[in-house]
């Protein structure tokens, strides 16, 4: 199936790691993935077992092809049925040696890695490095780390499931092919450092297309007229003043009273909120489509007047940031008619039910944790992993608290359902147990029903009983919150429905025959059912309507016409993006979190207020891939089909090599087509601005970090005449250099998300000369420089004079992590020759002491071991270096207050002050 690397073909060695003592002969060796899991399992297996962790994968495809090899995809032989070659990860060689030593003396080897495809593949790789026949291997799997589950698993070992291993291998090779054959095209056609991926590119596309929808969206307009009605008709005028005062309040975020706060106020003041639904025998329908030019203010005025609003004043305003009808803002003000009366003409009460949601699968857990707890998908999975692998509890020791957290099945075992029903019977009574147990089936066709949903391992271990133990741990609050969420979901899903009385009341104006009819809705919880476990919803703002009869009179104390504009499609949150990927069949439970991490880290999307925005780079990459691979991996339907075929491989109904031949056969011609596409950086989009240096039009262009403004003169070339060199006596004058073309204007400026020009980002830092620093982007990345006007560079001899008269600005570089990097002290040039190139060696003081490096760096990377020099020679050089550095003042920088010191290595993000919008002249040409 796969080629073994030279490392994996070696026989187990008797000499292993010295870190672990050699166990006694005849023991049972159990290999799991993580040390935490090993600790928990070891508790249940007893002294005859040695449990070791592989710490994840031990082998992978190599990142580079061997020297002399022309493999376009490292580790994958495209010409021989995609045969993979694996190598042991550098960081795992010591671990593999230790496992080989333990395996040599073990009576049996048990492979207890996770039960998903990734875990199956890890188990197979372990059999390869330990020389175990995978068909004879003892493979054990379990949904939960409990004594009963562990004992069941070890009583029923099986062989390695090779179709599942082949499915994981096929997925890995497909992703490797896309990464290594498509990404280089992006480097050439879009920008360096970018990457394409079978799943990440589609996830980026989903966010980008939502961004384009929002950008192209123009709203339709509609109107609603709401009213506050009071039962004390004589107090309506006084209630109007109190309501107006209440609605004028703002919280610390500047928000008006929330729905539930308004509902509570109305209940305290014998009032209710209702909506106008009918005027003159016709349903209220004041609206206009986004293409309409109709003015709705007349219809709104008439409806508000019919409802009882007097002294109506109309105010118009313009929202320049909106589109279409959204630009025309209209407000209607007035006062309720103190003589207006409404009479209840009908009361309709119906009994409704709310059903509990199914237990969690990976995607719904991530969605709930994001929306209710504010946890990222990645954080959710790491916390869930801790709960699964085991927590130390008083009187119990180490216990796995939940079942396996990577699952797409809502199935529950018979034992789990009975446990939940017993808990409900003992703690809440028979009324909270449905007559028949609830069963749930997944709508996902590929869901593996043999697996269980995510649930607590013991329903009687309620969150409050273990709260202190969890809080005592690192990240204890998150552990407790996520466990509570999982526990509530599981127990509630086996409880009864909640029951509500929903009331609808119609009120017709009775003091005048205008045909105005208002409708009020309310809801009262009559039986809490599963809400006794999960908690009653608190954010829906249902108003509780009092008991009143047909013919009851009410008076309006507030009538408010509201202009509404259709909202654009909402941007994705982590929760809704996971839901979308699940609906479209993109990725699998184990990959959702990593997909989101990748598209964020690549800079294709960013999160603002917990919602995803596509970046200019993300849009450019998606646009390019759609044009070049329009019916290939960038298509959602195609990606879904690949997932379906991988499922078929896992089920043994399709050959993994056939699947790869089909995939690569369709991809190969697209690679050539994509190379013919126009370079994204070559495209220019005219802007409305003029260049402040030469008055040419500025253009929007794409750079390595997104869009920026560039002068159109950059593409116009000016030929500088070569400088004449005075001739020596008796010789002719010569030219110093050949003519060189240069841009007519190289002005450039960053832009914000609205494509507005931005001034450079200000940095809360002063140079040694006391000049404020700003961040700029150069050829080799970001750097900090003094905020000084850029002088016009003279030519020839005047340039030399100007350089002497005006010292260069102070510059600070940033390292790869975006941290400030102080200039290094000068090295001591020694008389020691580099053995590689013959240049002299530099002596520097490093974190671990003096070290020698070639003076020709980076062309030569020769190093010498300083400690190998004779001791007397070492002392001489150290003394000479100290003399060189003596009296050199250490660099000392402060923030702009001139007091607060700034240390070397501080993240520049902590000092960044956002650049403000620049004012540029408009292009008049």
Catalytic residues: 404
Instruction: For tokens 């796969």, name the residue.
Output: 2
Closest by CA to 632, choosing from 594, 673, 585, 598, is: 673
Closest by CA to 175, choosing from 196, 190, 194, 189, is: 196
The encoded tokens of residue 44 equal: 């249940």
Cβ-count burial of 769 within 10 angstroms (0-12 exposed, 13-18 middle, 19+ buried)? exposed
Interstrand relation of 893-894 and 287-288 (parallel, antiparallel or unpaired): unpaired
SS3 content of the chain, % helix, strand, coil (to 5): 35, 25, 40
Closest by CA to 685, choosing from 616, 733, 633, is: 616
CA atoms within 13 A on the CB side of 656: 24
Rg of the chain taking only CA atoms, in angstroms: 36
Q: Backbone dihedral region of 431: left (phi > 0), alpha (psi from -120 to 50 degrees) or beta?
A: alpha
The encoded tokens of residue 292 equal: 């309409």
Give Cα 725 to chain centroid, integer Å.
Answer: 60
Identify any residues that bridge with 853 across adjacent strands, giving them in sequence order: 842, 863
Kindly state the helix (H) or strand (E) to which residue 478 belongs, with its residue range: helix 476-492
Cβ-count burial of 470 within 10 angstroms (0-12 exposed, 13-18 middle, 19+ buried)? buried
Closest by CA to 145, choosing from 391, 418, 497, is: 391
Q: How many CB atoms lie within 10 A of CB 553?
A: 15
Closest by CA to 53, choosing from 387, 389, 380, 388, is: 389
Closest by CA to 453, choosing from 468, 467, 438, is: 438
Alpha carbons 842 and 861: distance in angstroms, whole number: 12
The encoded tokens of residue 201 equal: 């590119």
Alpha helices by DSSP H, listed for 651-695, are 656-675
Q: Which residues of 196-210 are buried (b: 16+ CB within 10 A; e: fewer)?
A: bbbbbbbbbbbbbbb
Interstrand relation of 108-111 and 138-139 (parallel, antiparallel or unpaired): parallel
Alpha carbons 691 and 282: distance in angstroms, whole number: 58
Identify the three-state secondary structure at position 242.
helix
Alpha carbons 286 and 303: distance in angstroms, whole number: 9
Alpha carbons 530 and 696: distance in angstroms, whole number: 68
Give Cα 154 to chain centroid, integer Å.
Answer: 39
Q: How many angstroms separate the Cα of 443 from the Cα of each of 362, 583, 584?
A: 14, 10, 12
Alpha carbons 613 and 603: distance in angstroms, whole number: 10
User: What stretches of 380-497 adopt beta strand conformation (E)?
Assistant: 391-393, 397-399
Alpha helices by DSSP H, listed for 543-591, are 574-584
Show Cβ contacts of residue 21 under 8 Å, excluding neighbours closer than 6 positions: none
Closest by CA to 228, choosing from 258, 262, 260, is: 262
CA atoms within 13 A on the CB side of 277: 13
Closest by CA to 453, choosing from 365, 578, 579, 359, is: 359
Show Cβ contacts of residue 637 under 8 Å, excluding neighbours closer than 6 positions: none
Any idea what the Cα angle at residue 787 is, between residues 784 and 792, rounded to 5°?
A: 110
Residues 327 and 318: beta-carbon distance below 8 Å: yes
């Amino acid at each position: 199936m796969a080629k073994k690397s030279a490392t994996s073909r070696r026989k187990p060695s008797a000499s292993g790691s010295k870190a672990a003592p050699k166990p006694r002969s005849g023991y049972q060796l159990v290999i799991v993935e993580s040390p935490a899991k090993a600790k928990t399992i070891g508790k249940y297996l007893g002294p005859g077992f040695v449990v070791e962790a592989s710490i994840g994968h031990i082998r992978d495809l190599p990142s580079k092809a061997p020297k002399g090899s022309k493999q376009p995809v490292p580790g994958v032989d495209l010409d021989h049925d995609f045969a993979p070659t694996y190598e042991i990860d550098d960081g795992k060689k010591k671990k593999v040696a230790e496992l080989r030593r333990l395996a040599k003396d073990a009576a049996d080897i048990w492979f207890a890695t996770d039960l998903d495809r990734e875990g199956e593949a890890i188990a197979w790789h372990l059999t390869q490095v330990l020389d175990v026949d995978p068909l004879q291997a003892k493979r054990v799997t379990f949904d939960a780390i409990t004594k009963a589950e562990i004992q069941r698993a070890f009583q029923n070992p099986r062989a390695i499931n090779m179709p599942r291993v082949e499915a994981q291998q096929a997925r890995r090779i497909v992703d490797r092919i896309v990464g290594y054959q498509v990404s280089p095209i992006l480097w050439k056609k879009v920008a360096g450092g970018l990457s394409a991926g079978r799943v990440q590119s589609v996830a980026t596309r989903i966010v980008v297309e939502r961004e384009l929808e929002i950008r192209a969206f123009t709203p339709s307009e509609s109107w609603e007229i709401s009213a506050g009605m009071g039962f004390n008709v004589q107090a309506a005028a006084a209630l109007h003043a109190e309501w107006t005062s209440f609605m004028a309040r703002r919280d610390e975020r500047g928000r008006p009273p929330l729905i539930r706060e308004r509902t509570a106020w109305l209940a305290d003041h014998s009032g209710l909120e209702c909506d106008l639904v009918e005027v003159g025998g016709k349903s209220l329908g004041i609206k206009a489509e986004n293409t309409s030019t109709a003015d709705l203010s007349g219809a709104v005025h008439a409806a508000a007047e019919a409802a009882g609003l007097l002294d109506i004043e109309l105010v118009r305003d313009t929202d320049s940031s909106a589109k279409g009808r959204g630009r025309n803002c209209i407000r209607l003000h007035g006062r309720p008619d103190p003589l207006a009366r409404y009479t209840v003409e009908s009361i309709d009460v119906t009994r409704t039910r709310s059903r509990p949601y199914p237990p969690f699968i990976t995607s719904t857990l991530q969605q709930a944790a994001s929306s209710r707890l504010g946890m990222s998908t990645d954080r959710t999975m790491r916390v869930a992993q801790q709960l699964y692998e085991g927590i130390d509890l008083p009187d119990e020791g180490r216990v796995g608290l939940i079942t396996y957290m990577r699952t797409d099945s809502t199935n529950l075992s018979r034992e789990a359902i009975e446990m939940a029903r017993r808990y409900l019977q003992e703690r809440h009574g028979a009324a909270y147990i449905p007559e028949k147990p609830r069963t749930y089936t997944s709508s996902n066709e590929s869901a593996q029903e043999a697996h269980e949903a995510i649930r607590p391992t013991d329903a009687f271990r309620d969150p409050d009983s273990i709260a202190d133990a969890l809080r005592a741990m690192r990240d204890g609050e998150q552990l407790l919150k996520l466990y509570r969420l999982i526990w509530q979901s599981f127990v509630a899903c086996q409880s009864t429905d909640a029951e509500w009385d929903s009331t609808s009341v119609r009120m017709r104006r009775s003091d005048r025959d205008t045909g105005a009819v208002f409708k009020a809705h309310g809801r009262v919880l009559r039986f809490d059912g599963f809400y006794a476990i999960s908690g009653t919803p608190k954010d829906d703002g249902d108003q509780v309507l009092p008991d009143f009869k047909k013919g009851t009179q009410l008076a309006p104390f507030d009538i408010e016409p509201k202009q509404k504009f259709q909202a654009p499609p909402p941007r994705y949150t982590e929760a809704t993006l996971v839901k979308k990927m699940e609906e479209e069949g993109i990725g699998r439970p184990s990959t959702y979190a990593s997909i989101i991490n990748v598209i964020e880290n690549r800079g294709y999307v960013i999160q603002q207020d917990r919602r995803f925005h596509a970046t200019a780079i993300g849009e450019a990459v998606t646009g390019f891939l759609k044009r070049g691979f329009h019916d290939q991996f960038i298509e959602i339907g195609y990606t879904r089909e690949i997932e379906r075929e991988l499922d078929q491989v896992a089920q043994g109904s399709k050959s993994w090599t056939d699947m790869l031949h089909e995939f690569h056969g369709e991809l190969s011609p697209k690679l050539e087509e994509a190379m013919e596409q126009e370079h994204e950086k070559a495209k220019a989009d005219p802007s409305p601005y003029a260049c402040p240096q030469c008055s040419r039009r500025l253009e929007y262009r794409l750079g390595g970090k997104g869009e920026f403004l560039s002068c159109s003169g950059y593409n116009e070339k000016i030929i500088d005449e070569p400088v004449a060199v005075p001739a020596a006596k008796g010789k002719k004058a010569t030219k110093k250099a050949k003519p060189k073309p240069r841009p007519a204007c190289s002005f450039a400026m960053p832009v914000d998300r609205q494509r507005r020009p931005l001034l450079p980002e200000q940095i809360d830092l002063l140079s040694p000369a006391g000049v404020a620093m700003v961040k700029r982007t150069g050829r080799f990345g970001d750097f900090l420089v003094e905020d000084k006007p850029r002088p016009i560079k003279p030519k020839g001899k005047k340039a030399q004079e100007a350089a002497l008269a005006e010292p260069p600005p102070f510059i600070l570089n940033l390292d790869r992590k975006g941290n400030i990097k102080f200039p290094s002290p000068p090295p001591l040039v020694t008389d020691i020759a580099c053995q590689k190139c013959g240049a002299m060696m530099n002596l520097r003081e490093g974190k671990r002491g003096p070290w020698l490096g070639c003076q020709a760096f980076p062309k030569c990377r020769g190093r010498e071991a300083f400690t190998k020099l004779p001791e007397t020679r070492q002392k001489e050089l150290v003394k000479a270096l100290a003399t060189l550095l003596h009296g050199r003042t250490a660099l000392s920088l402060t923030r702009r207050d001139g007091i607060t010191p700034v240390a070397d290595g501080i993240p520049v993000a902590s000092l960044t002050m956002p650049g403000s919008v620049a004012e540029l002249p408009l292009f008049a040409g």
